[in-house]
Amino acid sequence: MVATDALVVGAGVAGAATVYFLSKAGISVRLVEAKRPGWGASGRNPGFLWLQTKPKGIAMEFSLAGRAFAEELAGHLPDYGFRSCGGLIAYRDHELTEVAADFVQDRRAAGLPARHIDRKEALSLCPRFGPAISGAVFNPLDAHQDTRRLVCHLIEASEAAGCEVRRDAVVRRLLCQGSRCTGVELDHGEQLMAGVTIVSAGPWSNDLLAPIGQAIPMVPMRFEAAETAPAPFEIRPVICGQALFKFFNTAGRDRTTLPSHPAEMIRKDLNFTEQIAQYPDGTLQFGCAFETGSADDRPTTARQAWPPP
């Protein structure tokens, strides 16, 4: 097996983008993926390019750069559903009006052109809101993409430029000589050598890094959303519900004093942010129940079902 200049482990959006740019630069690169491209977090997220909850400073700067990068890619790759559609945090309970106003003040200080809008303007942006809507926070810079389609386009372009992509190739361990990583060993024993090895396996990265003493401090978060058939209507902005104010409370209020919606009470062991986004083909993804610290990667509606299984 011929060694490559670089080897990338993990075919999510980060790994796919890495091999895309390395291949374009004429660097020999190989990509290995345990399942299929976009199988992990990149294929299971609702495609939000969401800025409203990013803290001021490096997190916001990084997120703004990522959003600009996505729009730049949209100009070079086949269509992957990038939409500069804006984002709404919608609320029903009137007592959240002051919370929303404080949130906007904080977001504007962080560099976003966010606005606190009333019911009338919220309905003009999303006529499909129900009669209970009271207002919303709107950020025109929020955007949406079909991350699954983006990953596919990046890998197709990389393969066309000479990148070798290995699907269903489980990496057993990283190969090291002293302090230098020289490649990987697959589960059937084959060794793939490279000048540089890039681990881009998301929450599974530490399975490879920990044995060589390089584990990354991180807390996994497990999200779930449901997907519908194409809908006969359009929901243009990306939307989160009022529960988001409990997780990103800029005024320092006690989250337990904020109003709850019945949807939040279905499974009290889960958090719930009422996300919804629409893909170019009209399908909707909505949820989003999530667990912090869970490493369970099995998608199952039972995790959101009531009564609990």
pLDDT tens across the length of the chain (309 residues): 679 999 999 999 999 999 999 999 999 999 999 999 998 888 877 889 999 989 889 999 999 999 999 999 999 999 999 999 999 999 999 989 999 999 999 999 999 999 999 999 999 999 999 889 999 999 999 999 999 999 999 999 999 999 999 999 999 999 999 989 999 999 999 999 999 999 999 888 999 999 999 998 988 877 777 889 999 999 999 999 988 888 776 666 777 778 776 666 666 666 667 889 999 899 998 877 677 777 676 665 554 443 444
Residue 111: which CATH number? 3.30.9.10
**What DSSP string describes 271-307?**
EEEEEEEE-TTS-EEEEEEEEES-------GGGT-SS
Length reported for the chain:
309
Considering the domain boundaries, does residue 175 fall inside one? Answer: yes
Say whether both 96 and 226 belong to one domain.
yes
Considering the domain boundaries, does residue 75 fall inside one? Answer: no
**pTM check: above 0.85:** yes
Say whether both 11 and 122 belong to one domain.
no
Whether the CB-CB separation of 242 and 52 falls below 8 Å is answered with no
Domain boundary among 212, 239, 261: 212
Q: In the structure encoding, which two tokens stand for residue 131, read together?
A: 């009669």
Domain hosting residue 262, numbered range? 85-142+220-303
Say whether both 114 and 233 belong to one domain.
yes
Say whether both 134 and 234 belong to one domain.
yes
Whether the CB-CB separation of 30 and 194 falls below 8 Å is answered with yes
Q: How many domains does the chain have?
A: 2
Say whether both 270 and 292 belong to one domain.
yes
Whether the CB-CB separation of 227 and 283 falls below 8 Å is answered with yes
Whole-angstrom distance, CA of residue 11 vs CA of residue 167: 9
Considering the domain boundaries, does residue 70 fall inside one? Answer: no
φ, ψ of residue 186 to 5 degrees: the values are -80, 170
